[in-house]
Amino acid sequence: MTLLRKFTLTLVVVLLVLGSSSYASAAAAPFYNETGGLISQISRLAGSGMFGEQEGTASSASFRQTAGLAVGANDELYISDALNHKIQKLSSGRLSVYAGPPSSILRDAGGQPLGALLDGSREHSLFQAPVGLAFGADGSLYVADSANNAIRKIASSGEVTTLSGNGKIGSADGKGAAATFYHPEGIAVAANGEIYVADTLNHLIRKISPDGTTVTLNTASERVVERYPGLALPAGDFKDGALEQALFNEPTGLALDAKGNLYISDSGNQRIRYIDFSLNRVSTLAGGDAAVYASNALYATEGYKNGAADKAAFHFPKGIALDAAGGLLIADSGNHVIRYLKNGAVSTAAGSQAGEAGFQDGIESSALFDTPLDVAVASNGTIYVADSGNSMIRAIAPYRLPAGISANQAGITVMVGTQQIQFDAKPEISRNRVMVPVRQIAERLGYTLTFSKDGQTVTLEKGGQAIELYLGSTTIKRKAQSGAGTTGKTDAAPYVKNHRTFVPLRFFAEEAGMDVQWVKSYQTAILRYK
């Protein structure tokens, strides 16, 4: 359900030659294949999947909507547990309350936690649906306290104060409590202490100076839609160009780059926008430069499309974060995936290529998420995901090649997971296919290997199934235990060279149900179980 309605009603497999938060300047760069796809493994970091309020061991902990993330100086993870109305801290495999009461003090008639606005010590402070989190240079944690319509500050000393806003809905500029907001969700802190806020339901980008003075940077939308007969609602709009004239539609995630410019997840416009402060101009980086609204639609038309950034499509993109390579990670909430924007192209970093929601760990192309709301990047390049629909925190661990394998090396390397296969003859590229000696690859993948007396037929057996390959031919035959057989084709014919039988690597990966990535710059093929 979209924000306004809530609050008004209460691996790509790439085979090339095989044939078929804040700026993280210190983070280790993730490892990408030649088309920009992230090679990674996804796992559950915290959360039992239950909707609850349980601290303790990460695996047994529970949340009520993981909405925002921030990584601390020592790689602790801070989490906005929005509907428990508190900030949690995940460190050394344990979840604890960082700010807010350990157990909810206020509850509604149905027993669900209620929030409130109260400053004071961390353990005695109260929040209401906190979302965006960002650390300042002084170690303070800043919070977009959305349902309190306020920006809060948790000092490293443990004191919680309201920096701007007073709990009332509005769009007034001013100092401290004189300023007002309407459900702010995104927050980013610049090196000079200036704070940028995505004032979501005002459709505005606001700036708070170090002395607590809030100013509005862009123009308020005047668009109104008749959402239901007789019910007119204010709505966001779209316009690039001069910052003071720019228009947004429910902006949420914010991220500052090394230049101090601001990326914006313009959720209701299904786009990623960018403010260049040296020019005071807004441009659209991904999703197209002209938002399309259906008649009386609150939001621009959504979609799911990778490729050139100006042709890419999103479905309510939310939290964003920059990685060490300068690419932008995007929690594409309605498509249930994590997207990646770099060098003018958008790809799916992790999650279903069909936009399917669910829960599944595994490699990037097999993993499933459910309404991810935010992302954050640790110093080692691990990407954390606030997987809100699953009530979990997930970790995307970028693939790392072992030491000793370097770019532009001579010869081809074949990896199964993180283990290198040692061959008794060098793998080679023949007719744009990686060919490998059959014995080592067969044994490594668990096949029993036999040859016919004339050496022309190679038989592989595993799990009661047999596969026959024929030298010089792309024809194969599959046989079941029952004796039934079918024929098929490989993408390259086996051959003999220097008394070794070479077979196409891709064939073995597909037969074993594996994903294959070819990284040309490293001359390395990476095989992983899905």
pTM greater than the 0.85 cutoff: yes
pLDDT class of 485 with cuts at 50, 70, 90? confident
Same domain membership, residue 419 and residue 278? no
Instruction: Give the rounded percent of residues in the chain with a pLDDT score beyond 90.
Output: 79
Give the separation between CA 345 and CA 307, rounded to whole angstroms: 5
In this predicted model, what pLDDT tens digit does every residue of 318-376 receive, in sequence order? 999 999 889 999 999 999 999 999 999 999 999 999 999 999 999 999 999 999 999 99
CB 436 within 8 A of CB 503: yes
What does the pLDDT read at residue 30? 55
Flag whether 22 is in a domain. Answer: no
Flag whether 444 is in a domain. Answer: yes
Last residue of a domain, one of 375, 398, 421: 398
Q: What average pLDDT does the segment 395-405 reach? A: 88
Give the separation between CA 520 and CA 113, rounded to whole angstroms: 53
Q: What average pLDDT does the segment 5-9 reach? A: 36
Flag whether 11 is in a domain. Answer: no
In this predicted model, what pLDDT tens digit does every residue of 249-295 receive, in sequence order? 999 999 999 999 999 999 999 999 999 999 999 999 999 988 889 99
Same domain membership, residue 55 and residue 134? yes
Same domain membership, residue 350 and residue 468? no
| Spatial CA neighbour of 284 closest among 306, 263, 308, 304 | 263
Give the separation between CA 98 and CA 282, rounded to whole angstroms: 36
By CB atoms closer than 10 A (0-12, 13-18, 19+), residue 224 is exposed
What does the pLDDT read at residue 28? 40
Give the separation between CA 69 and CA 24, rounded to whole angstroms: 14
Question: Look-up: residue for tokens 């443990």?
Answer: 158
In this predicted model, what pLDDT tens digit does every residue of 38-82 receive, in sequence order? 899 999 999 999 999 999 999 999 999 999 999 999 999 999 999
In this predicted model, what pLDDT tens digit does every residue of 166-206 receive, in sequence order? 999 999 999 999 999 999 999 999 999 999 999 999 999 99
Flag whether 161 is in a domain. Answer: yes
Look at the chain and report how many structural domains it folds into: 2
By CB atoms closer than 10 A (0-12, 13-18, 19+), residue 528 is buried
Range of the domain at 241: 40-398
What does the pLDDT read at residue 2? 43
What does the pLDDT read at residue 186? 98
Residues in the chain, how many? 530
CATH number at residue 456: 3.30.457.10
Same domain membership, residue 383 and residue 427? no
As given in the structure block, the two tokens for residue 323 are 């990685």
Same domain membership, residue 260 and residue 207? yes
pLDDT class of 17 with cuts at 50, 70, 90? very low
pLDDT beyond 90 at 93: yes
What does the pLDDT read at residue 291? 80
**The residue type at 18:** L
Flag whether 307 is in a domain. Answer: yes
Query: Which H or E run includes 442?
Result: helix 438-444
Same domain membership, residue 386 and residue 441? no
pLDDT beyond 80 at 10: no
Same domain membership, residue 183 and residue 287? yes
Same domain membership, residue 164 and residue 92? yes
| Spatial CA neighbour of 392 closest among 12, 51, 19, 40 | 51
pLDDT beyond 50 at 451: yes
Q: What average pLDDT does the segment 421-428 reach? A: 95
Q: What are the DSSP E strand ranges found in 443-484?
A: 448-451, 457-462, 465-470, 475-479
Question: Look-up: residue for tokens 């086996």?
Answer: 494
pLDDT beyond 80 at 480: yes
What does the pLDDT read at residue 408? 75
What does the pLDDT read at residue 34? 66
pLDDT beyond 50 at 1: no
Same domain membership, residue 301 and residue 218? yes
In this predicted model, what pLDDT tens digit does every residue of 136-161 receive, in sequence order? 999 999 999 999 999 999 999 999 99
Report angle CA 512, 513, 514 to the nearest 5 degrees.
90
Give the separation between CA 125 and CA 421, rounded to whole angstroms: 56
Give the separation between CA 14 and CA 20, rounded to whole angstroms: 7
Same domain membership, residue 349 and residue 243? yes
What does the pLDDT read at residue 511? 83
Cα dihedral 494, 504, 422, 35 in deg (nearest 10) = 160
CATH number at residue 231: 2.120.10.30
Same domain membership, residue 254 and residue 339? yes
What does the pLDDT read at residue 456? 95
CB 65 within 8 A of CB 81: yes
Last residue of a domain, one of 371, 398, 425: 398
Last residue of a domain, one of 398, 433, 456: 398
pLDDT beyond 70 at 92: yes
What does the pLDDT read at residue 521? 82
Helix-strand-coil split of the chain, %, nearest 5: 10, 45, 45
Which residues fall within 8 angstroms of residue 295, CB to CB, at 6 or more apart? none
Same domain membership, residue 424 and residue 363? no
Flag whether 174 is in a domain. Answer: yes
Flag whether 30 is in a domain. Answer: no
What does the pLDDT read at residue 4? 40
Flag whether 408 is in a domain. Answer: no
Question: Look-up: residue for tokens 């279903």?
Answer: 352
pLDDT class of 506 with cuts at 50, 70, 90? confident
Give the separation between CA 523 and CA 126, rounded to whole angstroms: 55
pLDDT beyond 80 at 35: no
Mean pLDDT of the chain: 91
